[in-house]
Structure 1
Amino acid sequence: MSGIFSIIGSALNAQDLRLGAISSNLANASSVAAPGEQPYRAHELVFQAQPVADGEGGNGGTDDLSGDSQLGVQVVATVQSNAPPTRKYDPGSPYADQAGYVTSSNVSPVDEMVNMIDSSNSYSASVAMLQQASRIDQQMISSFQVT
């Protein structure tokens, strides 16, 4: 059963990192760049299935004799969104370029809120799985107790 805890732990860690990136994006959603500078670009995480350790140091992440690895999730990179920055005509702004446009981040608050809900739901599902796995462990232990 320790393999399931490693898998769930990797999922919780990945969603925690994803929520951190989302909060950074939301904090910079309305940031603007001075003329000639690059605006803030939304950060996106890249997930990848990775073998997880079994927690006992024994079989290196295999859960049976066939050698099948237990796969968890790992954040392998953080990339910047390739969406174009937002440009708004505001010739009175000190951040306006020669044409009168202010360049701001490419963060879409609506998209980030959807991502936050998705990440929060994934986190909650992982916690529910962790609780269920723990209950199963407790039931197995109690079934071996002599009364």
Structure 2
Amino acid sequence: MTDLSQSLSLSASGMRSQALRLRHVSENIANVDTPGFHRKTVSFQSEPDSGLVSTGPVRLDQSSLQKMYDPGHPMADDTGYYDGSNVDLVVEIADAREAQRSYEANLRMFDQARQMTQSLFDLLRR
């Protein structure tokens, strides 16, 4: 029984981690046009004793910001340029799709463990 409950815990930790990742991807997409915005990234790590997945610290992507030319923009310098964001929509959409698929895989594993637990309880009742 502990193996089944442990598999439920592992699946739940994976779903929590992917949900957080998807939240940061959504924030990145929402701020694609925000001047000076740095893309947020999150890393995953395995907890040594339990094998559960957790998220590491949220980091800001330090790649260079895109230079935008708009002399009428309030943040533009003397040359008419200002710093845009370093968010690439193609990368963010790919990350969102990967997070969604990973979340769904963990959800299927969670549901399978739940069904196995229910079947075990049904057998024990007989």
- TM-score norm. by structure 1 comes to 0.78
1:93-145 deviations in Å (ceiling 9; x for gaps): 22211221121111111111111111011111111111111111111122223
Aligned to 2:43: 46
Query: What is the RMSD of the two structures over their aligned residues, measured on CA atoms?
Result: 1.3
1:26-62 deviations in Å (ceiling 9; x for gaps): 1111112xxxxxx1101101211014xxxxxxxxxxx
Q: Which moved more, 1:69-78 or 1:108-117?
A: 69-78
The runs of 4+ residues in structure 1 deviating greater than 6 Å are none
Aligned-pair identity in percent equals 29
Aligned to 2:31: 28
Gaps of 5+ in 2: none
Aligned to 2:51: 71
- TM-score norm. by structure 2 comes to 0.90
Question: Looking at CA atoms only, which structure, 1 or 2, has the larger radius of gyration?
Answer: 1
- More helix per residue: 2
Aligned to 1:113: 93
SS at match of 1:97: coil
SS at match of 2:37: coil
Q: How many residues align?
A: 123
Letter in 1 for 2:21: R
- In 2, Cα distance between the equivalents of 1:70 and 1:76? 16
Aligned to 2:118: 138
